[in-house]
């Protein structure tokens, strides 16, 4: 799907309106409006201190805004914890990826969602490892992730492969919205291209994707729309096709 193919009048799947957040005397966000539709990738960009992390923490349920409203599927919601957002279908992948290196690929895919053996053994917490391995392989393949055997420890994978597993897990479990915080950070060109392909596949599956990145070419490559935060306020919100790398950089810095 190309940026121009996203209907301009499509109702947002996930949105915040007039969101503000302060930390003491520091204004992190001021009257921010942000939305993303199903089947849309919105790039969220801005300099350090622009308010991106604070907005992501509110979208993912980590922080509660001082004022404003959160809507999912047109219904106002109030997250008291990340678990609330997760249960509502919002998956968030942070920069540290949340991967457990000592566990296998399958165990990481099912981390927190482990499948127990049926019958007596399951009552004592025995895991259905073979089932998880097969389902993990299928899920990762479904979202376009090519990884080594699901039974392989993550500690044996390259940095790019670990990130691929983390992103594949998030996309596989997301029901409505996926928030990706710097998913291509520290990846080589080939690995980053694979991640961008996964983001496109998430969009094609009808997920609403929020893509936070400092790597502007990646944002321009995959986003339908770009929202620029500057000093806690929305400085720009427009189709990605209207930006060049230079004009996007000007919007971020405020320089003419």
The dihedrals phi and psi of 14, each to the nearest 5 degrees, come to -135, 130
| Residue ranges for the chain with pLDDT beneath 50 | 1-6, 8
What is the pTM for the complete model shown? 0.82
Select from 25, 42, 2, 49 the least CA-distant residue to 230.
Answer: 49
- The pLDDT value recorded for residue 35 is 97
- The pLDDT value recorded for residue 93 is 85
**For the chain, how far is it from start to end, CA to CA, in angstroms?**
32
> What is the enclosing helix (H) or strand (E) of 75?
strand 75-77
Task: Tell me how far apart the alpha carbons of residues 153 and 60 are, in angstroms, rounded to a whole number.
Answer: 28
- The pLDDT value recorded for residue 224 is 97
Instruction: Set out the domains of the chain in order of their start, with CATH numbers.
Output: 10-89+174-253 (3.40.50.300), 99-160 (no CATH)
- The pLDDT value recorded for residue 172 is 75
- The pLDDT value recorded for residue 144 is 64
């Amino acid at each position: 799907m190309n940026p121009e193919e996203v209907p301009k009048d499509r109702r947002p799947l996930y949105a915040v309106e007039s969101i503000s957040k302060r930390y003491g005397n520091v204004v992190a966000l001021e009257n921010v409006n942000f939305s993303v539709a199903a089947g849309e990738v919105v790039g969220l960009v801005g300099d350090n201190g622009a308010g991106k992390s604070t907005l992501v923490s509110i979208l993912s349920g980590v922080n509660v805004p001082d004022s404003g409203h959160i809507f999912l599927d047109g219904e106002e919601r109030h997250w008291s914890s990340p678990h609330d957002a997760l249960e509502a279908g919002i998956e968030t992948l942070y920069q540290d990826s949340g991967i457990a290196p000592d566990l296998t690929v399958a165990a990481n895919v099912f981390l927190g969602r482990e499948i127990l053996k049926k019958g007596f053994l399951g009552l004592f917490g025995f895991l259905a490892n073979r089932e998880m391995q097969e389902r993990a392989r299928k899920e990762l393949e479904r979202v376009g992730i090519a990884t080594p055997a699901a039974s392989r420890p993550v500690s044996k994978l390259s940095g790019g492969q670990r990130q691929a597993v983390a992103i594949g897990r998030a996309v596989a479990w997301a029901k409505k919205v996926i928030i990706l915080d710097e998913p291509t950070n520290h990846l080589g060109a080939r690995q980053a291209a694979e991640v961008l392909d996964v983001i496109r596949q998430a969009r094609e599956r009808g997920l609403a994707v929020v893509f936070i990145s400092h790597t502007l070419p990646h944002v321009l490559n995959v986003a339908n729309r770009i929202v620029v935060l500057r000093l806690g306020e929305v400085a720009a919100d427009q189709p990605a096709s209207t930006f060049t790398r230079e004009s996007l950089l000007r919007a971020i810095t405020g320089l003419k």
